[in-house]
Structure 1
Amino acid sequence: MVREGNAESCFRVRLWCIAVLGLALLSACFIVSCVEKIWGCCPGTWKPFGSSCYFISSEENFWAKSEQNCIGMGAHLVVINTETEQDFIIQQLNKTFSYFLGLSDPQGNGNWQWIDQTPYKENVRFWHQNEPNFSAEECASVVFWDGRGWGWNDVFCDSKRKSICEMKKIYL
């Protein structure tokens, strides 16, 4: 009879151990799934901001070649959606250079469009005063002008400039 009690007691302990272990595994799965949504990473030389990563190119290329280079890294030329994003980006830039954005007017008719098809919003524009000003300049850049600061400028797509690539963060 003592043996039966020990066997039953042992069975209960095992059952509790299995229940606790199962609960621990479920908790771990829940925590990992929550952490995955929070821990976004960027490749080594990229700068994180919000849900995106940014790469400032040190090479000067034409607009189309700049976009190809971004695509080769799993990104695209930068799409600026907010003033805080613009402020973050310009803090990373060198005032002596101009940088291509993912914004163009392919037909030269004032119909500006973002490379990723994000709607071009009139309220999220950072053009320098009196820009864009020439329909043959079908690509946009961000540039620092003395007395005006940072702003967008329409430029020739076949001019060589540095560029800014953007990709979504990689979530672990």
Structure 2
Amino acid sequence: MVPRGPLQGTERTLQWHPLKVWFPAVMSISVLGICFILSTLVNKNNSVYSNIGKRLSKLQSHQRFLSVACRREAEGQFAETWSCCPTPWKLFESSCYFIASTSQSWEKSRESCIALQADLAVIRTQEEQDFIIQNLNNSSAYYLGLSDPEGHRHWQWVDQTPYTNVTFWHEGEPNQPTERCVVVAFRPTTGRWGWNDIFCDVPQKSLCRMPVIHL
């Protein structure tokens, strides 16, 4: 075999020619790739700004509230959900709660809650009961959205939630068929909060409840 000498000028030209052809193509592909990434980021940012605009627009529909307090529920790279309650309402799980300081009958208390686009509170779980009583005054009683309209011990929640065994009656309650409305109250003799049935026309404070505002 004859040893191969250094590449001649023509051979060099033939060796480097493919690189000269591919280099512009590689650069073009790189530039296109950068443009695609930038375009994607701009579109996603526009989507974020669009979502913010939608949330602000939705919040304007609740102008009756001077301010709201929000909690971040879930988020992704470019999306998130907030649960909000008007101040001074209290946020728990998927509901907002308001403690009405005005003492009224059960019916008037419910009307006041409805005027706030809410209703008297419905309690479904121990966790909900525990959260609510943390914000109450031991010296007051508060109407709940539970009543016995016919006086036959057929208790009904205002939102039609089935009346189940998840109840928090004080010992010995309910005790009077003519007492058709329910309050949550503190009993000093036991040191515990619980439910009492009372006459519906007795003025008491109340608890309002409404779904959170999702933004």
Instruction: Assess same fold via TM > 0.5.
Output: yes
Higher relative contact order (CA 8 A, sep 6+): 1
Query: Which residues in structure 2 correspond to 1:1-172 (within 5 Å)?
Result: 13=31, 16-18=34-36, 20-22=38-40, 25-26=43-44, 31=77, 33=79, 35-36=80-81, 39-122=82-165, 124-148=166-190, 149-172=192-215
The structure that has the greater radius of gyration is 2
TM-score scaled by length of structure 1: 0.85
Cα offsets for 1:130-162 (capped at 9, x unmatched): 111111111100011112211000011111000
CA shift for structure 1 position 26: 4.1
Kindly state the Cα deviation for residue 23 of structure 1 after the two structures are TM-superposed.
Answer: 5.1
TM-score of the pair, normalised by structure 2: 0.69
| Structure 2 runs not aligned, ≥5 long | 1-22, 49-75
Paired with 1:21 and 1:80, the residues of 2 have a C-alpha distance of 50
Q: What is the distance in 2 between the residues matched to 1:31 and 1:106?
A: 51
Q: Following superposition, which runs of at least 4 residues in structure 1 exceed 6 angstroms of deviation?
A: 9-12
RMSD: 2.5
Q: Secondary structure at the match of 2:162?
A: coil
Report what 2:66 is aligned to.
none
> What residue identity is the alignment partner of 2:116?
M
Identity of aligned residues (%): 48
Q: Is the 8 A contact 2:104 2:205 kept in 1?
A: yes
Residue 78 (structure 1) shift: 0.4
Aligned residues: 165
Between Structure 1 and Structure 2, the one with more strand by share is 2
Q: Structure 1 residues 147 and 63, CA, compared in 2 at 3 Å: closer, same or farther? A: same
